[in-house]
Structure 1
Amino acid sequence: MKEEIVEDKKKSKSLMKFITKWGTFITIVILFVFFTFANWNSAKNSSIFLTYDNMITIVRSISITAIIAIGLTYSLTVNGMDLSIGANANFADFLVMSMFVWHSMGICTSIVLSIVICLVIGLINSFLIVKMKIPDMVAALSTMFMFQGVAMTYSNGGAITERMMMKGGKAALGLVPPAFRGLGKEPWIIVIMLIVVIFAHFFLNYTKYGRYMYAVGGNPEAARLSGIPVNKYRILAYLLSASFAALGGILIAARVGTAQVNAGAAYLMPSVAAAYIGFSVAGAGKPNALGTLAGAVLVGMLENGLIMMSVPYYAMDIIKGAVLAIALALTYATKKET
Structure 2
Amino acid sequence: MTDNPVQVPSRKGTIPFREGVGGPVTVSEIVRRGAVFFLLAALGVIFTVAQPAFININNLMSILQAVSVVAIIGAGVTITLAIDGFDLSVGAVAASSVMAASYAMIVLGFGAAETVLLVLAFGTLVGLLNALLIVRLKVPDLLATLSTMFLLTGLQLIPTAGRSISPGLILPNGSTATGKVDPLFLMIGRSSLFGVVPLAVILMLVVAVILHVLTERTRLGRLLYATGGNEAATRLAGANVARLKTMAYVLSAMLASLGGIIVAARVGRGDVSSGASLLMDSVAAALIGFAVLGLRRPNVLGTIVGAVFVGVLLNGLTMLNSPYYTQDFIKGAVLVGALALTYGVSRNR
TM-score interval for Structure 1 and Structure 2 normalised by the shorter chain? 0.7 to 0.9
**Alpha-carbon distance, 1:310 to partner:** 2.5
Partner of 1:245: 256
**Alpha-carbon distance, 1:233 to partner:** 0.8
1:192 to 195, 199, 203: 203
**Alpha-carbon distance, 1:254 to partner:** 0.6
Conserved in 2, the CA contact under 8 Å of 1:285 and 1:335? no
Q: Which amino acid letter does the alignment assign opposite residue 58 of structure 1?
A: I
Deviant stretches of 4+, over 4 Å: 326-338
Which stretches in structure 1 are left out of the alignment for 5+ residues?
1-12, 40-46
Partner of 1:116: 121
Give the direction of change, closer, same or farther, for the CA distance of 1:168–1:225 in structure 2 (3 Å limit): closer
Give 1 or 2: higher helix fraction. Answer: 1
Partner of 2:107: 102
Q: Which amino acid letter does the alignment assign opposite residue 254 of structure 2?
A: S
CA RMSD of aligned residues (A): 2.2
Partner of 1:32: 44
Partner of 2:29: 17
Residues 1:213 and 2:218 aligned together: no
Residues 1:179 and 2:184 aligned together: yes
2:59 to 54, 68, 71: 54
**Alpha-carbon distance, 1:20 to partner:** 2.2
Residue by residue over 1:38-82, the C-alpha shift from the partner in whole angstroms, topping out at 9 and shown as x without a partner, is 33xxxxxxx232333322221111211111111111111101111
Give the direction of change, closer, same or farther, for the CA distance of 1:335–1:23 in structure 2 (3 Å limit): closer
SS at match of 2:298: coil
Aligned residues: 319
CA distance in 2, matches of 1:155, 1:77: 37
2:148 to 143, 146, 170: 143
Residue by residue over 1:232-264, the C-alpha shift from the partner in whole angstroms, topping out at 9 and shown as x without a partner, is 211110010000011001100011111112312
Partner of 1:225: 236
CA distance in 2, matches of 1:249, 1:106: 17
CA distance in 1, matches of 2:345, 2:246: 28
1:309 to 304, 320, 325: 320
Residues 1:129 and 2:134 aligned together: yes
CA distance in 2, matches of 1:325, 1:331: 10
Residue by residue over 1:248-294, the C-alpha shift from the partner in whole angstroms, topping out at 9 and shown as x without a partner, is 01100011111112312322112111111112212222212211111
Which stretches in structure 2 are left out of the alignment for 5+ residues?
1-24, 193-197
Give the direction of change, closer, same or farther, for the CA distance of 1:59–1:220 in structure 2 (3 Å limit): same
Residues 1:76 and 2:77 aligned together: no
1:279 to 283, 290, 306: 290
Conserved in 2, the CA contact under 8 Å of 1:97 and 1:253? yes
Give the direction of change, closer, same or farther, for the CA distance of 1:294–1:101 in structure 2 (3 Å limit): same
Name the TM-score, length of structure 1 as normaliser: 0.87
Q: Which amino acid letter does the alignment assign opposite residue 284 of structure 1?
A: L
Identity %: 40
**Alpha-carbon distance, 1:100 to partner:** 0.7
Deviates more, 1:281-290 or 1:320-329: 320-329
1:67 to 68, 72, 83: 72
Residues 1:266 and 2:248 aligned together: no
**Alpha-carbon distance, 1:334 to partner:** 8.2
CA distance in 1, matches of 2:128, 2:251: 10
Residue by residue over 1:133-167, the C-alpha shift from the partner in whole angstroms, topping out at 9 and shown as x without a partner, is 23222322221122111112233212111222333
CA distance in 1, matches of 2:332, 2:269: 29
Conserved in 1, the CA contact under 8 Å of 2:31 and 2:345? no
Q: Which amino acid letter does the alignment assign opposite residue 86 of structure 1?
A: G
Give the direction of change, closer, same or farther, for the CA distance of 1:149–1:78 in structure 2 (3 Å limit): same
Conserved in 2, the CA contact under 8 Å of 1:277 and 1:295? yes
Give the direction of change, closer, same or farther, for the CA distance of 1:311–1:154 in structure 2 (3 Å limit): farther
Name the TM-score, length of structure 2 as normaliser: 0.85
Give the direction of change, closer, same or farther, for the CA distance of 1:326–1:122 in structure 2 (3 Å limit): farther
Conserved in 1, the CA contact under 8 Å of 2:80 and 2:248? yes
Q: Which amino acid letter does the alignment assign opposite residue 95 of structure 2?
A: N
